[in-house]
Structures are given as structure tokens and as C-alpha cells.
Structure 1
Amino acid sequence: MNAYIFPGQGAQFSGMGLDLYENSSLAQELFEKANEILGFSITDIMFEGSADDLKETKVTQPAIFLHSVILAKTLGDNFKPDMVAGHSLGEFSALVAAGALTFEDGLRLVSQRALAMQKACELQPSTMAAVLGLDDDIVEKVCATTEGVVVAANYNCPGQLVISGEIDAINRACETLKEEGARRALVLPVGGAFHSPMMEPAREELAAAIENTTFSKPSCPIYQNVTANAVTDENEIKANLILQLTAPVRWTQSVQQMISDGATLFTEVGPGKVLQGLVKKINREAQTASATLEA
């Protein structure tokens, strides 16, 4: 069975999407539509901007979404998913690719999500840290016993978990995790504590936008970050999407469940190969590939 997976923030690169724009009239049309919807020329930044330009939250999230979704749409009849999943932001790309959201609504939600997250980050300084080489339960225990707000945020693959929370609490947790035997506990250069209770203001803002958006039944099950289970019910999809900003990304569990449900090939749709690497670390037997315009 074919599983299509969609990357999240961090996969951006200068020049992203230009090959699609130059080689597909459909891609061109969708990129121009995106510029109209966003009210600024995101294509200029994607195609010609610097790495710093692309790091701006209001640009990063829509840019990755556009690269992934437009690539999926240019595949035409070659895009035949039996199941889809996306990492954090990538869940929105997956929902559009599977027909649960229109391109326009998906882009508007992603743009609102980016701005809401930026505002939440500015309300209170916060951060995230990558923890390597420890079992999940040890990391969870350290988070639970550390003073302040610190939670497990991204279950990326066995032995790689990202924690999220208040700066002081993250620093304290990192020290304890090193004492517990972590190979690394490294604070990440991110704007805030994504997938933690500190995103509550953003969750509330995004919830209103999601509630006012029409969702359709997807063409195949989507394995959502919050539950790591196959979902096809529109109301359940919406509820999980609202919870996503303050809940952990259960990527390890999602991939394991997809394999258990019959996935044999994982095709990454969008910039980079980060998710393919994670899939291989979760299950070495899994086949992975990158979606390409020529496919």
C-alpha cells in the first residue's frame, strides 16, 4: 500500500518550488493564486529569497505547504494514496492532497496558523530541545518532574524526541537528561515552544478559523499527529487539527500504525528527505521515495 507523507517546518530551502513553476502550467496557476490569497509575493521569496527570508514564520509554513501540495497536484493520476500523514504543518498539506480541504482553505488556515503561532511566541519566551539516545519513557519522566512547563513535543523516531516549554525549564530538563545518559540534549534555534501548552493562545485563534472552514471526507485515511490513528470522519479531523498545536506530534507511532495497517512504500511529497530518514529509523524494512514532477 502507498503511504504519502508531507514534511513540516525546517524543510525549506532557497529556490524551493521554482522547478514546479517553470515546468507545469498548473503549478504556475496555483502559485499565482497563492500570491493573491496571501497578499504578498511568496513566490519571489521562495524562488529568490535567502535562507533568512525563508525563516520568517509567516513565510516558512505557507512555503512548505505550497511546495508539497502543488507537487502532489502536478502528479495527476500518479498520485494514488492509500493513506496519508504529515508532520505538524505537513498535516495540512496531507489534508489538501487527500481532498479533505480545498487548496484555498488549506492555504488560509496555514497562513493563520503561522501568524497565530508567531503571536504566541512573542507573548512569552519559550523554546524546544532535541533529545537523542534515550527511551521515550525516560524523557517523559524527566519532563514530568522538572519544575516549570516542559513536555514531550515531537516523537520523531526511536531515540529522537523533541521537548518543548519555558526556556529555564528546558535548560533544566536538558541537564537532567544528560545525567540520565542522553547522547545529546540540544536547544534548537526555534521561535517558541510548539506543540506545548504555551501554544494555547494560538490554538484558540486557530480553532475559530478551523470551525469556520468546510471539511470534506478525505479520499483515503489520514493518520493524524494527535492520535496516530487512521481518521476519515470530517468532525474528528477538525477536532484533532485543533488539538494539534498544544499536543505532541506522534510521528513514530503514526508510521508504526501505517505499517501495521499495510503501508509498504512511503513517498515524501515536498522539500527535503527528513521524513524518509525518520521512517527508515522507525522501520529499516520500509521502502521510501521522493515524489518528483516527472513521476
Structure 2
Amino acid sequence: MHAYIFPGQGAQFSGMGLDLYENSPLAQDLFEQANSILGFNITDIMFEGTDEDFKATKVAQPSIFLHSVILAKTLGESFKPDMVAGHSLGEYSALVAAGVLNFEDGLKLVSQRAMAMQKACDVVPGTMAAVLGLEDKIVEDVCANTEGVVVAANYNCPGQLVISGEIKAVQSACETLTEKGARRALILKVGGAFHSPLMGPAREASAAAIEATTFNKPNCPIYQNVTANAVIKEDELKANLIEQLTAPVKWTQSVQQMIADGATLFTEVGPGKVLQGLVKKINRPSEVTSAALETIS
């Protein structure tokens, strides 16, 4: 079975999507629609922006979403997923690819999400850290016993877990995790404490927009971050998408479940190859590829 996977924030780079714009009339039309929907020319930043431009969450998230979704649409008849999943932000791309959201609604929700997350970051400063070389249980226990707010946020692959929360709490947890044998406990250059309780205001702000948006029946199962299980019911998709902002991304568990349900080929749709690397670390025999290789020349 063929699984399509969609990357999240951090995969952005200057020039992303330019090849699609120059080679596909469909892509060009969708990019121009995006400029109109957002009220500014995001294509100028995507095609020619600096690293500094991409640091803004309100730019990075829509850019990655657009690259992923438009790439999927240019694949035409060859795009026939048996299942889909997205890492954090990538879940929105997966929902559009599976027919749950239309292009305009998906982009509007991503833009609203980015704005809400940026606002939450400004109100309560936070950070994240990558922890390498420890079992999940050890990391979870350290977080639970650290003063302040710090939680497991991204289960990326065995031995790679990202924690998130208040700056002092994350720093303290990193010190303890290093003492317990972590190969690395590295503070990340991120704008805030994503997938932690500190994103509560962003979840509340996003909930109303998600509830007011029409969700269609998916054309294939969607493995959502919150449950790591296949979901096809529209009300469950909405509830999980709302909860996602403050809940951990269960990527390891999602990929393991997809494999258990028959996935043998994983195609990453969007910028970068991060998810392909994670899939191989989760299950080395799995075949991985990039959708960029399938697109028009």
C-alpha cells in the first residue's frame, strides 16, 4: 500500500515551489489564488525570500502547506494514496490531499493557525529541545518531574523526542536528561513552545475556525498526530485537529500503525526529505521516495 506523508514547519527554504510555478499552469494558478486569499504575495517570499523572512511563523507555515498541496495536485492521475499523514502542520496538507478540505479552506485555516500560534508565542515565551539517545519513558518521566511546564511534544523516531514548554523548565529538563545519558539535549531555534499547554490560547482561537469549516469525507484514511490511528469520520478529524496544537505529535506511532495496516511505500510530498529519514529510522525495510521525482519536468 502507498502512503503519502507531508512535512511540517522547519522544511522551508528559499526558492521552494518556483519549479512548480514555472512548469505547471495549474500550479501557477493555485499560487496566484494563494496570493489573493492571503492578501499578500507569499510567492515573492517563497521564491526569493531570505532565511530571516522564513523565521516568521505566518510565512513559514503557509509556504510549506502551499508547496506540499500544490505539488500533490500537479501529480495528477499518479496521485492515488491508500493512506496519508502529516507531521504537525503537514496534517493540514494531508487533509487537503485526501479531499477533506478544499484548497481555499485549507490555506485559510493554516494562515489562521500560524497567526494564533505566533500570538501565543508572544504572550508566553517558550522553547523546544531535541533529545537524542534516550527511551521515551525516561524523557517523559523527567518532564513530569521538572518544575514548570515541559512536556514531550514530538515523537519523531525511536531515540529522537522533542520536548516543549517554558524556557527555564526546558533548560532544566535538558540538564537532567544529559545526566541520565542523553546523547544530546539541544535547545532548538524555534519561536515558541509548540504542542504544549502554552499553545492553549492558539487552540481556542483555532477551534472556532475549524468548527465553522466544512470537512468532507476523506478518500482514504488519515493517520492523525493526536491518535496515531486511521481516522475517516469528519467529526473526529475536526476534534483531533483542534487538540493537535496542545497535544504531542505521535509520528513514530503513526508510521508504525501505517506499516501495521499495510503501508510499504512512503512518498514525501513537499520541501525536504526529513520525513523519509524518520520513516527509515522507524522501520528500515520501508521504501521511501520523494514526490518531487514524480512531478512534471
TM-score (norm 1): 0.99
Which residue is 1:278 aligned to? 278
Which residue is 1:144 aligned to? 144
Query: 2:23, 2:296 within 8 Å by CA — same for their partners in 1?
Result: no
Which residue is 1:240 aligned to? 240
Supply the distance in 1 between the matched residues of 2:191 and 2:56 (Cα, whole angstroms): 10
Which residue is 2:203 aligned to? 203
Letter in 1 for 2:242: I
Query: 2:135, 2:158 within 8 Å by CA — same for their partners in 1?
Result: yes
Which residue is 1:3 aligned to? 3
Which residue is 1:180 aligned to? 180
Supply the distance in 1 between the matched residues of 2:176 and 2:99 (Cα, whole angstroms): 45
Equivalent residues in 2 for 1:14-29 (5 A)?
Answer: 14-29=14-29
Which residue is 2:252 aligned to? 252
Q: How many residues align?
A: 295
SS in 2 for 1:154: strand
Which residue is 2:154 aligned to? 154
SS in 1 for 2:127: strand
Compute the displacement of 1:56 (Å).
Answer: 1.1
SS in 1 for 2:164: strand
Supply the distance in 2 between the matched residues of 1:240 and 1:160 (Cα, whole angstroms): 23
Query: 2:74, 2:296 within 8 Å by CA — same for their partners in 1?
Result: no
SS in 1 for 2:267: strand
Which residue is 1:294 aligned to? 296
SS in 1 for 2:16: coil
Which residue is 2:120 aligned to? 120
**Are 1:46 and 2:46 counterparts?**
yes
Note the alpha carbon deviations across 1:87-119, whole angstroms, 9 max, x for none. 000000000011000000000000000000000
TM-score (norm 2): 0.99
Compute the displacement of 1:26 (Å).
Answer: 0.3
Note the alpha carbon deviations across 1:258-291, whole angstroms, 9 max, x for none. 0000000000000000000000000000000000
**Are 1:89 and 2:77 counterparts?**
no
Compute the displacement of 1:194 (Å).
Answer: 0.2
Equivalent residues in 2 for 1:163-174 (5 A)?
Answer: 163-174=163-174
Letter in 1 for 2:216: S
Compute the displacement of 1:294 (Å).
Answer: 3.0
Supply the distance in 1 between the matched residues of 2:223 and 2:274 (Cα, whole angstroms): 18
Compute the displacement of 1:54 (Å).
Answer: 1.6
Which residue is 1:106 aligned to? 106
Unaligned runs of 5+ in 1: none
Supply the distance in 1 between the matched residues of 2:75 and 2:269 (Cα, whole angstroms): 10
Equivalent residues in 2 for 1:130-141 (5 A)?
Answer: 130-141=130-141
Point out 4+ residue stretches in structure 1 off by more than 3 angstroms.
Answer: none
Query: 2:86, 2:93 within 8 Å by CA — same for their partners in 1?
Result: yes
Supply the distance in 2 between the matched residues of 1:294 and 1:24 (Cα, whole angstroms): 8
Supply the distance in 2 between the matched residues of 1:54 and 1:246 (Cα, whole angstroms): 23
